[in-house]
Each structure stands twice: as structure tokens, then as C-alpha cells.
Amino acid sequence: MSVKDHGGDTRDMMVTLNGLCEQARDADVDIRPLLLDVADISSDVDKYGMGSMRSILLRAAGREPVGLW
């Protein structure tokens, strides 16, 4: 997702990201550190008014539970 930098449609990318986060939660995988690492190397350019790739990943990391695993 970071490499594609929003892909063809930011909304589709966000739905995919939410699904991946849900799958990780269901599998008891703490995806938050991965989201933060990828956000660190992601673009900070808001291409379509929905946030930059970095901010989208940081928001997803903020929704992930911390310290449960």
C-alpha cells in the first residue's frame, strides 16, 4: 500500500487496510508496530484530500489495541 501510494482509489485502499487490520486482530497479531514502521517510510503528500499515506497508516495504528498481546 505504501509503495502504491493510494493506488487507483484511496477509498479501496482504506477498505483493504481495514480488512487487513481486522484479520490481524482476529489472529492475535499485533500489527501496530508494522503500521508505524511502514508509516515512517510512507509519503506525507495528501493526494486526494483523504490524508497522506503516512497519516492513513498512523490512523490505522491508532485504532489498533495496544498492550493486549
Asked whether the beta carbons of 66 and 25 are under 8 A apart, the reply is no
Dist. CA 9–CA 26, nearest whole Å: 26
Q: Please give the sequence-ordered ranges of beta strands (E in DSSP) within the chain, or none if there are none.
A: none
Give which of 13, 9, 63, 10 is closest to 36, Cα–Cα.
63
pLDDT score, position 64: 61
The pLDDT tens digits for 3-38 are 888 777 888 888 889 999 999 989 999 999 999 999
Does this model's pTM top 0.95? Answer: no
Find cell 508496530 and name the residue: 33
pLDDT score, position 68: 44
Under the banding of pLDDT at 50, 70 and 90, the label for residue 67 is very low
Dist. CA 69–CA 48, nearest whole Å: 35
> What ranges do the domains of the chain cover?
10-63
